[in-house]
Amino acid sequence: MDKIKTLVVDDERIAREVVRNLLAQDPEIDVVGEASDGELALEMIAKHKPQLVFLDVHMPIMTGIEALSSIKPAQRPEVVFVTAFDEHAIRAFELHAVDYLVKPFTDKRFIQGLDRAKRRVRGDLLQSTERAVASLLQHFENAKSAPAPAEHKESPLVLKVDGEHHFVNQADIRWIEAQGDYILVHTLQRNLLTRMTLTHALEQLNAAKFVRIHKSCVVNVDYVRRLKPTTAWGRPLELDDGTTLNISRSYRQAVEQFL
């Protein structure tokens, strides 16, 4: 029996290693490569023509959804979406019967998803899968082109901490800092550490309230007390609780205009 050619796509190196290590335990799988963003994924798919792709949804440059929609329907491989907790995306996946894994997933859940994907590849059910994927892509396309509602209600930021999902009101967030593959969210009540990129967090936050002051720091302008004079090290920003954060040179002009 021929092995199933498989591609791993995720912008986080550790996440790719986790998936590759789990795939390595299955003798039916041949991992032909990995990609760290959507553009590279398209190149790898064109080159290796994998039958199966584990595709991260949230990536810089080009999201997994955008990458998949760029592939001609007849050339799309079987796909298992991998995503951080995103209630809207998950509802769409469930609605259109597309398989997905929510980070961080257990080995058992991964194996279940892999077995389902293998059956669809081996059973030559790609046509039915293609219909599901096509309807999913149309769903996201419609959502993207839909007019914005007259009034915007801030959705809570959903953070998975120690296996529990915390729904944090955006108004309660003072600032967020990146710590490797994690972010530390400083709220009025406590600090929460969760596996998420700062870029992904920004996509969910109210752009009228949150501004990036450094490549690894975002602040809620409602809690900014003052901007201090510029020093040789940058321009300090002080929050209402006395926290002092430095605005990096590359973000200084944009932050000053925003404030």
Residue 126 in tokens: 């790609």
Max CA separation in the chain (angstroms): 69
Q: Supply the pLDDT for residue 254.
A: 76
Let me know if 180 is exposed, middle or buried by CB neighbors in 10 A (0-12, 13-18, 19+). Answer: exposed
The 3-state DSSP class for residue 228 equals coil
pTM of this prediction exceeds 0.95? no
pLDDT by position in tens, the chain (length 259): 789 999 999 988 999 999 999 999 999 999 999 999 889 999 999 999 999 999 988 887 787 878 888 888 778 888 888 887 666 566 656 544 467 888 878 899 999 889 988 988 887 554 455 666 666 666 656 655 545 444 445 788 889 888 888 889 999 999 999 998 899 999 999 999 999 999 888 888 988 899 999 889 999 999 998 888 776 666 888 999 999 998 888 787 777 777 6
Paired sense of beta strands 191-195 and 182-187, if any: antiparallel
The CA-atom distances, in angstroms, between 207 and each of 150, 170, 251 are 16, 11, 15
Q: Which domains does the chain show, CATH number per domain?
A: 4-145 (3.40.50.2300), 157-258 (2.40.50.1020)
Q: Supply the pLDDT for residue 70.
A: 84
Distance separating alpha carbons of residues 37 and 59, to the nearest angstrom: 6
Q: In sequence order, which ranges of 11-100 are alpha helices (DSSP H)?
A: 13-23, 38-48, 64-69, 87-95
Paired sense of beta strands 52-56 and 4-9, if any: parallel
CA 163: distance to chain centroid?
Answer: 18
CB–CB of 81/98 below 8 Å? yes
One-letter-per-residue 3-state SS of 161-205: ECCEEEEECHHHEEEEEEECCEEEEEECCCEEEEECCHHHHHHHC
